[in-house]
Amino acid sequence: MAQTPFIGVVIVDHGSTRAESNVMLEKFVDLFRELGDYDIVEPAHMELAEPSIATAVDRCVARGATRVIVSPYFLSPGKHWHKDIPRLTADAAKRHAGLEFIVGAPIGLHPLMVQLVQSRIDHCLRHADGKADECNVCQGTGRCVLKTA
């Protein structure tokens, strides 16, 4: 009987030179670990910041993963999803004989995205009307204000 694979998840974004953007991925991964169904979850940045995809795959394997799912934290299936992330993932997997891996789909047109965007818009409007604090993304930036042309 075949052994059930132990799954590791790598959630990868583009990566940024702005530390605040990279920290946001780490916070999302923490939330995913807390609310999701996988024990091994690692953040990765495709470029510009660490941890890299290779580092995240290494961490998953070190924690016992025999199969790694790389989940792009991207909205659209652009060049990075078609070429860069699969190449970087394959290169990382080569260092671990027998490791199974797959690059999953970006977020795309998932129906829950409508609810998410609606929620952000509603919150922004409530904040502009003085009925809500700034959201966790805008907090302290002064960006969530109504402007007049």
Tokens of 119: 């929620």
Backbone angles phi, psi at 11, to 5 degrees: -100, 120
CA-to-CA distance for 43 and 91, rounded, in angstroms?
A: 17
pLDDT exceeds cutoff 60 at 2? no
Check: CB of residue 32 under 8 Å from CB of residue 71: no
| Per-residue pLDDT, 145 | 81
Candidates 3.40.50.300, 3.40.50.720, 3.40.50.1400, 3.55.40.20; CATH matching 7-103 = 3.40.50.1400
| Per-residue pLDDT, 147 | 83
Q: 110 or 9: whose pLDDT is higher?
A: 9
Could you tell me if residue 98 is left (phi over 0), alpha (psi between -120 and 50 degrees) or otherwise beta? left
pLDDT per residue as tens digits for the range 74-126: 999 999 999 999 999 999 999 999 999 999 999 999 899 999 999 999 999 99
Check: CB of residue 15 under 8 Å from CB of residue 26: no
| Least confident segment among 35-39, 62-66, 67-71, 142-146 | 142-146
Check: CB of residue 107 under 8 Å from CB of residue 74: yes
Which residues sit opposite 69 in a β-bridge? 9, 102
Give the pLDDT band (50/70/90) at residue 1: very low
pTM above the 0.85 mark? yes
Tokens of 81: 């999803």
CA-to-CA distance for 26 and 44, rounded, in angstroms?
A: 9
pLDDT per residue as tens digits for the range 28-61: 999 999 999 999 999 999 999 999 999 999 999 9
User: Peptide bond preceding 51: is omega within 30 degrees of 0, i.e. cis?
Assistant: yes
CATH 3.40.50.1400 range(s) for the chain read: 7-103
